[in-house]
């Protein structure tokens, strides 16, 4: 497992040039291609149990080292960097809101929904990350991961991070998504309280991370798959102000959105009102509809799904 990044420096430099050209809405020599792959994919590819991957940092390092060589040698796409990172799985909200996590066999960890009733929303507490034992434990695990990489003598960037979704998708991690959609119609005032708490938690986490790093970020990316499944009118009425507030506060330079669903009905709003600089339209949107709405305003990627191995 001797991955040597120097073998790929010229290729990565060329890939960076292609992406820089696209950021100017100009045409490079060809469309840059970046194939999204992650831990679960490589578990399937290399014959590992996904639960073990998320439970054992040593297994993560083993798989990620194999994955680095495989992606550069076999995929040959326009990768611009490399490194090792501790993957917690889709449990950021569990860490921030102190929720139970279950680990079924051969899949990623699941969050046990904390909110079952409207009354649960009032009982939900937002704790500052610096006072959260779960956050402190996650940060300890990240430092431990970096030390494990060093002990192996691997001269590669290593790290990790904690993140949560913007309010709608965050709420859909705290409660059953169908319930959130129902409450948006039947109990809008109460579900708005939940969105307010989710925004508060999101901003507290970002501010905490920026203070620790001694920075103030000017670019931010959001992952908001659940937004694809509400009408544009509902989005504007109940969700727009939250995501816009995040972008206005942390995205003065760059605003990225990943939304893995049919986003055709939101493209005009994302380009003209949210003023996204980049958007991953996911694998279920119509590129033919995305292009006229985003062209010259928002750099677009996505639009293709690939089966698991």
Q: Terminal CA-to-CA distance of the chain, rounded, Å?
A: 21
CA 252 to chain centre: 19
Query: Does this model's pTM top 0.85?
Result: yes
Q: Are 80 and 116 in contact (CB under 8 A)?
A: no
pLDDT at 307: 58
The per-residue pLDDT string of the chain (309 residues; one tens digit each, 9 = 90 and over) reads 579 999 999 999 999 999 999 999 999 999 999 998 899 999 999 999 999 999 999 999 999 999 999 999 999 899 999 999 999 999 999 999 999 999 999 999 999 999 999 999 999 999 999 999 999 999 999 999 999 999 999 999 999 999 999 999 999 999 999 999 999 999 999 999 999 999 999 999 999 999 999 999 999 999 999 999 999 999 999 999 999 999 999 999 999 999 988 999 999 999 999 999 999 998 889 999 999 999 999 999 987 765 555
Residues 6 or more apart whose CB falls under 8 angstroms from that of 153 comprise none
Alpha-carbon gap, residue 287 to 294, rounded angstroms: 10
SS (H, E, C) 258-307: ECCCCCHHHHHHHHHCCCCCEEECCCCCCHHHHHHHHCCCCEEECCCCCC
Q: Are 171 and 199 in contact (CB under 8 A)?
A: no
């Amino acid at each position: 497992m001797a991955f040597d990044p120097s073998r790929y420096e010229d290729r990565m430099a060329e890939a960076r040039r292609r992406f820089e050209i696209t950021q100017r809405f100009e045409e490079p020599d060809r469309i840059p291609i970046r194939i999204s792959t992650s831990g679960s994919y490589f578990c399937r590819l290399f014959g590992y149990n996904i639960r073990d991957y998320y439970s054992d940092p040593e297994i993560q390092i083993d798989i990620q080292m194999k994955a680095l060589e495989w992606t550069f040698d076999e995929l040959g796409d326009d990768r611009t960097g490399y490194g090792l990172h501790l993957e917690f799985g889709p449990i950021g909200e569990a860490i921030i809101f102190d929720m139970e996590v279950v680990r079924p066999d051969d899949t990623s960890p699941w969050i046990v929904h904390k909110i079952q009733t409207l009354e649960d929303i009032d009982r939900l507490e937002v704790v500052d990350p610096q006072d959260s034992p779960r956050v402190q434990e996650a940060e300890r695990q990240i430092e431990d991961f970096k030390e494990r990489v060093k002990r192996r003598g691997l001269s590669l960037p290593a790290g990790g991070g904690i993140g949560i979704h913007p309010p709608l998708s965050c709420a859909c991690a705290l409660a059953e998504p169908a319930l959130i959609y129902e409450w948006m119609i039947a109990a809008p005032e109460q579900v708005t309280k939940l969105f307010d708490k989710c925004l508060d938690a999101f901003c507290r986490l970002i501010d905490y991370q920026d203070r620790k790093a001694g920075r103030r970020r000017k670019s931010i990316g959001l992952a908001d798959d659940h937004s694809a499944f509400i009408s544009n009118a509902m989005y504007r009425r109940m969700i727009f102000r939250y995501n816009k507030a995040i972008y206005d506060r942390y995205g003065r330079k760059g605003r990225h959105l990943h939304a893995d669903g049919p986003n055709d009905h939101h493209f005009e709003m994302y380009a003209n009102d949210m003023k996204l600089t980049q958007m991953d339209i996911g694998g279920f949107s119509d590129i033919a509809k995305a292009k006229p709405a985003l062209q010259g305003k928002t750099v677009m990627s996505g639009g293709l799904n690939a089966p698991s191995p």
